[in-house]
Structure 1
């Protein structure tokens, strides 16, 4: 190329050494609209071409300029979008050989993408008839939104097929993790699978849960479409990371807070293991004692584990909860229960026979409730009359004043025997 330029330079230099007489120039020579000006420009163009060596490397630059001009003309016709310009688009493609897949030098889009994004309906159909297709590296989600906006149903249908591809799968994971509600919603509208999982087994919903975005818009969008497995794994992810704000929408979506994973662990187990006290407290408040009972270990063991991790408030609640549950069960047995029901409660190990709290002694409740049969059962399990309200003497007096029922005499006799043993 440098030698060609040097050759042209030498020829121009020789012509300058022997100048020819300057012809008279009319005004038409400088008028760009005149035929004379056009003729002179063509002569200059041919002169320059004649000075360049023959070969595709030099003539290609003129072809490239022509192609560039045809490409711009193609985009101009697409934008005008009239019936006449559709014929011009076909003519450009047929006569100039311009590719309908070329990218605009400034806009960076292909003709079909430009037509879709700007709602040029006639041009879209013309380009599709000429064989244009949406490139794999195009933004399919943005194009789908434009197709819906401008009523390009055939384009929207073609893009919906893309929504089942691996590329769409990656797009959905990325939009879920970034909290991009709009993009995620469009992908789901395109029928992307809301229950896709990545190589590690994490679901789209789990990716949304671990997003740094504090808004829950993506999760609320995914939950109605998520299966039970995705919901339960998302709940466990929330327990691991202490995502209390996400807990509310998961429970509203009917996630089972007592569910177990493959290792038998519940969300409460995972929350305690990772020291997520606020999440565990809120889970117990919203879902009730059944959450603790569903764990793979006893409530006492859970309370001990919570204390080992310095979760004092949770440990206190876990220790109190079995007692409160047992007290409620005991009150129900006092009303219409049987000795067998009381025996079952005592076997569970959570009901205190001699409580050191403000609940009152169970022997007092049995005597006041007129249930000598239940009081006898408690005495056989080593309940101590001396710890009852007013001591054993007061309890004996109240037992004697009870209405005559089955077991009444036996209860009074047993209290007398125990009273004598105390005085020894």
Structure 2
């Protein structure tokens, strides 16, 4: 059995179920959680983790679960990846904080330089660092409004951008993200997304018709001259891993360019090798004016970034950007370790390999299982959409039951989707092949039982 180094003892890369899941120790801790933490902080699987790495998470009861979640696309380069651990341990002994706006440090600058180099486009860029994806999205919108002198922001059906006031306003799905939390921020407008599986006239017409409808709504209902930014996820994450029909993103980007609108790509979930490209925009050669990143950037330490055209970001006055913890030195070192790991271990290629294994297996399951309506995704960002057999009616009950049974078998999977009927798979890019195959076998078994 292969192992993975976790900055200490090696962690066996095996599925091991020694108690019911969750086990007694996890149930005890979950009771404490319920007494100490508000119920609004939900839990997908109430096992309390003690170790994680490679393709597994190990809980307090000694169960070792196959990880098809990566902390929601955060541990792309592995949990406690050796290069990350080494850099963070060295940094924490030197200093933990000075505030980059007070007395700066080199690691922040190095992260900015790397993102300016690696993100799509060869134009002059600037990067500043923040704490979370939502904070980065807010700042990207803020910069776009400042640079253009306009107020309107256009977003898309099924989009998810965060839980703060503005990012809730930008997010499409009401429950659980927006319910009861209004009123929301003004000057936010929503247009159709090219959703091939659910496009009324079929996937072959989806890109052209969706783009035409979106552009028509912008022109008629807002006025292109009033739009500061168009914000989109290159693959809609929480909305159900919806990959817009080919041609849709380039058409929207070109409309933005023609009308002086800042095109913002929210790559919080798709970035850092997850989709088989370093950034998902690269699949169709789309070059955003601003790209927002977080999640996989620092292997689990809180870090996010806004990277954009210098002529846009340089317009903001001194003091207009920043934050106390943004670009924390520990998180910056972690990010440098993640970028080193992606390059040294060819995690872009590894993501493609994971997709080459998963997609055919899942499509084979779909062919013999009418409950699976669609299989989609790129690289190691894969999903299946569950429907009532013989229809396209969403089947969230089936998604929840399949997830529950997978968890009991020792396979961690996540649900998603506007209708709650999507199973999404985000294995760490360092997951060994035998665990990937074993996880797929469990999934096939569970779906056949449903």
Max Rg structure: 1
Q: When you count helix as a share of all residues, which structure comes out higher? A: 1
Same topology, TM > 0.5: no
**Higher share in strand:** 2
TM-score, reference length from structure 1 = 0.20
Q: Which has the higher contact order (CA 8 A, sep 6+)?
A: 2
